[in-house]
Amino acid sequence: MKTTLHPWPVYAITFFVGLFVLIVFTMWIISHVFKEESIDQTAWIILGALFLRVFTIVIALASIQKWGQHIPQWAILGGLSGAASAQLIYPIAELMVKLILLTGVFESSPKGLGNMSLTGWFNLSAVWVIFGIPGILFIQAAKNYKQTMALSNRWVWIGSLLGIFALFLIGVLIG
């Protein structure tokens, strides 16, 4: 059964992810163009990640814009689902690790995920703002698109698994 398409999650994605991309890309340009810092492997990874985030905005917009009708519906639903899973897996995993460390079952390091100081919890909050909230918005956009277009859950699962795979592939490339 088709329902009415609600565009608000897509507009929220476009604003929040777009703002993040704009800020990080501006910082990248300042560092590598104006300050002439070398473009090393990390700089290329940041640039690549920014282009992936822009691509997720395009997929989201395709779900509500007329030009998106030229893209197969399964690809849009898979893209929305993949963006949701890729962006949510890291903040969920970090939160789970921190909660497990709070139990005291495992020793924690004062660095990385084991940082239980105010700074460590602030970093977790930042991860949720940068990745978690957009991930939740992508879930809402995918759910809305799936219901509106009366599509199968198959593309939700395929897209979600591909999103997780892509995130792990990026992690392997980073090292």
Domain annotation covers residue 2: no
pLDDT digits (tens, 9 = 90+) for 87-130: 999 899 889 988 888 887 877 777 777 778 888 889 889 999 99
Q: What is the pLDDT of residue 102?
A: 83
Domain annotation covers residue 3: no
Domain count, the chain: 1
The span from the CA of 23 to the CA of 76, in Å, is 26
Are 13 and 141 a contacting pair, CB within 8 Å? Answer: yes
How many Å is the Cα radius of gyration of the chain?
18
Q: What is the pLDDT of residue 34?
A: 95
Helices (H) and strands (E) in the chain, counts: 6, 0
Q: What is the pLDDT of residue 3?
A: 57
Domain annotation covers residue 1: no
Q: What share of the chain is helix, strand, coil (3-state, %, to 5)?
A: 80, 0, 20
Q: Which of 18, 13, 40 is nearest to 28 (CA)?
A: 40
Torsion of CA 39, 15, 136, 98, to 10 degrees: 50
> Could you tell me the residue range of the domain that residue 96 belongs to?
8-174
Residue labelled with tokens 């849009």: 76
User: How high is the mean pLDDT of the chain?
Assistant: 90
pLDDT digits (tens, 9 = 90+) for 25-66: 999 999 999 999 999 988 998 899 899 999 999 999 999 999
Domain annotation covers residue 137: yes
Domain annotation covers residue 26: yes
Are 86 and 166 a contacting pair, CB within 8 Å? Answer: yes
Q: Is 71 exposed, middle or buried (0-12, 13-18, 19+ CB in 10 A)?
A: middle
Instruction: Write out the two tokens for 95.
Output: 């939160």
Question: Poorest-confidence range of 16-20, 41-45, 66-70, 157-161?
Answer: 41-45
